[in-house]
């Protein structure tokens, strides 16, 4: 008997953020990822819109990884009456807790500042959620190991496989009856710097594939040379190198690169500050999961050696005033919030400083404005001239580029019934669609926000 079987795209469709995919099968509702929208205002406003499903009828959420655009909506579920479980890998649980607590705190502080500064259009500004909401959702988490099938309903099971994107990130193979849907989550690079490479999945009836870099190839440049050159040139001018950074993943890659450059004498021996409590906590999570990455004990020790960890907010304020040559790593990666903003407010105005963008910059974020060459940006309600040097090192990306995505898809032994493209801005998603059609000949569709697509069920 055919079952009612469908997938609905509640986020991560037409945009890179807000990933939320709802699978309905056999009377069960399973959500894969539950991310926050970030970037443009009209996207951010979606975070406050109710989901098109009664959350009390949601049986479970399965997470691909801890990044906010895949987990940031979770605290809102508890308030809406969610009674189910949230399945994830063990590192994803630890990192999600760090990320969600940090996000709640930032939102509470931002709302407070906006109300005090009077620059919010909402009166009063309200945080999307607070620490109490995070605490309400944490008991729903249940960690599961990779490689093992986990039965979550009589005819529904899933399995995690390592995806090489960040610590703890996984692909999800979701079996509904006889049909298998594979969710790529964020697909890592073929040769990640600090993580194990992505596993090859071989079978799927449906594939949901990300397309962040679906339209381009990362430059095949020597990362270490590039960093060394930019840092040395900036220090010669007496400036600071500021690296807006994703706390989870990219920060550890950068600390690893800087440690190697320093020990090889390729960069001057200048102070390195990690001005992000979240990144500091995350770096320590690496120590506890040695099988989830390829850093040895010595590499891990070197990550923190010679780096000043700035947890305390008073120390961070002092550092913001200090403009002597140094490397400052601070969140957030797209400059959408966090301590990097307070640094940027003054340091963007100085031509001697360099900002290095090291990850994807979503439309509408400060990082994207800088990447696109804006000579003036609006911050904290004021216009700030951009005189600092802006560099982008996209080869450090934690996302596969177009050719790496196609190579991974080529590893499937037979074409799926359909591939759905998600997690990309429209031109990237469409470029990948054309490429999949031309190179693989698969039936392929760019997912549209809110669309519910019926899937064929074999049994
Ligand atoms: Zn991610």
Query: How far is Cα of residue 89 from the mean position of the Cα atoms in its chain?
Result: 16
- Cα of 130 from ligand 1 centre, angstroms: 22
Cα(435)–Cα(437) distance, rounded to whole angstroms? 5
Distance from residue 346's CA to the centre of ligand 1 (Å): 29
Cα(67) to centroid of ligand 1, in Å?
A: 5
b/e for 323-345, b at 16 or more Cβ within 10 A? bebbbbbbbbbbbbbbbbbbbbe
* DSSP at 201: P
Query: What separation in Å is there between the alpha carbon of 370 and the centre of ligand 1?
Result: 21
**pLDDT value, residue 1:** 44
Q: What is the pLDDT of residue 121?
A: 62
**How many A from CA of 188 to the centre of ligand 1?**
9
Q: Starting from the edge strand earliest in sequence, which strands make up the sheet with 241-244, in order?
A: 307-309, 272-274, 327-330, 241-244, 354-357, 389-392
Residue 219 CA, ligand 1 centroid: distance in Å: 20
Q: How many Å lie between the centroid of ligand 1 and the Cα of residue 207?
A: 18
User: CA torsion sign, 339 to 106 to 247 to 187?
Assistant: negative
CB contact set of 40 (below 8 Å; sequence gap of 6+):
362, 363, 364
The pLDDT score that the predictor gives to residue 97 is 97
Q: How far is the CA of 232 from the centre of ligand 1 (A)?
A: 30
In the CATH scheme, what is the code of domain 223-396? 3.40.50.10890
DSSP letter for each residue of 46-112: GGGSPPSS-GGG--EEE-S---HHHHTTHHHHHHTT--SEEEE-HHHHHHHHHHHHHHHHHHHHHHH
Ligand 1 centroid vs 18 CA: distance in angstroms? 11
Directed axis angle between helix 402-410 and helix 426-440, to 10°?
40
Crossing angle of the two packed helices 277-288 and 250-263, in degrees rounded to 10: 80
208 alpha carbon to ligand 1 midpoint, in Å? 15
CA of residue 81 to ligand 1 center, whole Å:
27
Provide the token pair at 204: 């799927």
Ligand 1 centroid to Cα of residue 246, in Å, is 10
Could you tell me the distance, in angstroms and rounded to a whole number, from the CA of residue 165 to the centre of ligand 1?
Answer: 7
Task: Give 168 Cα–ligand 1 centroid separation in angstroms.
Answer: 11
**How many whole angstroms from 304 Cα to the centroid of ligand 1?**
23
Residue-level pLDDT at 119: 61
Structure tokens at 454: 């019926």
pLDDT tens string for the chain (459 positions)?
A: 445 899 999 999 989 899 999 999 999 999 999 999 988 888 888 999 989 999 999 999 999 999 999 999 999 999 999 999 999 999 999 999 999 998 999 889 888 887 887 666 666 788 999 999 999 999 999 999 999 999 999 999 999 999 999 999 999 999 999 999 999 999 999 999 999 999 999 999 999 999 999 999 998 888 999 999 999 999 999 999 999 988 888 899 999 999 999 999 999 999 999 999 989 999 889 999 999 999 999 999 988 888 999 999 999 999 999 999 999 999 889 998 889 999 999 999 999 999 999 988 988 899 999 999 999 999 988 999 999 999 999 888 899 999 999 999 999 999 999 999 999 999 999 999 999 999 999 999 999 999 999 998 865
Query: How many angstroms does the Cα of residue 458 sit away from the middle of ligand 1?
Result: 32
- Chain Cα centroid distance, residue 181: 22
Q: Angle at the Cα of 187 (from 135 to 171), degrees rounded to 5?
A: 60
- For 351-361, b/e burial (b = at least 16 CB within 10 A) is ebbbbbbbbbb
Element (H, E) at 165: none
Residue 442 has, within 13 A of its CA and on its CB side, a CA count of: 28
The CA 106 to ligand 1 mean position distance, Å, reads 19
User: Could you tell me the distance, in angstroms and rounded to a whole number, from the CA of residue 249 to the centre of ligand 1?
Assistant: 9
Cβ-count burial 258-275 (b if 16+ within 10 Å, e if not): bbbbbeeebbeebebbbb
pTM score > 0.95 for this model?
Answer: no
Give tens-digit pLDDT for 306-343.
Answer: 899 999 999 999 999 999 999 999 988 999 888 999 99
State in Å: Cα 441 to ligand 1 middle. Answer: 28
Q: Residue 401 Cα, ligand 1 centroid: separation in angstroms?
A: 14
Q: Does domain 5-216+398-454 have CATH number 3.60.15.10?
A: yes
- b/e per residue 79-107 (b: at least 16 CB within 10 A): eeebebbbbbbbbbbbbbbbbbbbbbbbb
Where along the chain do its domains lie? 5-216+398-454, 223-396
Measure 233 CA to ligand 1 centroid, in angstroms. Answer: 31
Q: Do domains 5-216+398-454 and 223-396 have the same CATH topology?
A: no
> Cα torsion at 41, 42, 47, 50 (round to 10°)?
150
């Amino acid at each position: 008997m055919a079952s009612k079987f469908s997938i609905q795209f509640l986020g991560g469709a037409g945009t890179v953020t807000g990933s939320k995919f709802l699978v309905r099968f056999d009377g069960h509702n399973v959500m894969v990822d539950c991310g926050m929208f970030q970037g443009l205002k009209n996207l951010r406003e979606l975070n406050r819109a109710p989901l098109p499903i009664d959350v009390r009828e949601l049986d479970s959420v399965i997470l691909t990884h801890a990044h906010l655009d895949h987990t940031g909506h979770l605290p809102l579920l508890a308030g809406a009456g969610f009674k189910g479980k949230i399945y994830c890998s063990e590192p994803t649980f630890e990192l999600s807790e760090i990320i969600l607590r940090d996000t709640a705190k930032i939102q509470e502080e931002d709302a407070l500042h906006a109300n005090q500064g009077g620059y919010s259009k909402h009166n009063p500004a309200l945080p999307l959620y607070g620490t109490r909401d995070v605490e309400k959702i944490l008991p729903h988490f249940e960690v599961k190991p990779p490689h093992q099938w986990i039965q979550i309903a009589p005819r529904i099971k899933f399995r995690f496989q390592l995806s090489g994107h960040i610590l703890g990130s996984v692909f999800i193979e979701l079996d509904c009856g006889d049909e298998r849907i594979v969710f790529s989550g964020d697909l890592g690079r073929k040769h990640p710097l600090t993580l194990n490479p992505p596993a090859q999945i071989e079978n799927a009836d449906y594939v949901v594939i990300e397309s962040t870099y679906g339209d381009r190839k990362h430059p095949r440049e020597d990362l270490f040379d590039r960093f060394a050159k930019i840092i040395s040139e900036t220090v010669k001018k007496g400036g600071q190198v500021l690296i807006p950074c994703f706390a989870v993943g990219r920060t550890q890659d950068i600390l690893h690169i800087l440690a190697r450059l320093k020990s090889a004498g390729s960069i001057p021996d200048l102070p390195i500050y990690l001005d992000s409590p979240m990144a500091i906590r995350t770096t320590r999570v690496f120590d506890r999961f040695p099988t989830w990455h390829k850093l040895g004990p010595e590499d891990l020790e070197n990550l923190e050696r010679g780096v000043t960890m700035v947890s305390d907010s008073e120390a961070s304020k002092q550092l913001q005033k200090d403009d002597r040559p140094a490397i400052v790593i601070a969140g957030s990666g797209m400059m959408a919030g966090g301590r990097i903003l307070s640094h940027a407010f003054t340091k963007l105005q100085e031509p001697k400083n360099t900002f290095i963008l090291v990850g994807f910059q979503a439309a509408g974020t400060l990082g994207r404005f800088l990447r696109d060459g804006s000579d003036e940006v609006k911050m904290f309600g004021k216009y700030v001239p951009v005189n600092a040097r802006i560099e982008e090192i996209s080869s450090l990306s934690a996302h596969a580029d177009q050719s790496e995505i196609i190579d991974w898809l080529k590893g499937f032994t037979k074409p799926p019934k359909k591939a759905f493209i998600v997690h990309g801005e429209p031109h990237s998603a469409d470029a990948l669609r054309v490429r999949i059609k031309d190179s693989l000949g698969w039936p392929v569709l760019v997912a549209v926000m809110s669309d519910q697509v019926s899937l064929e069920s074999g049994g």
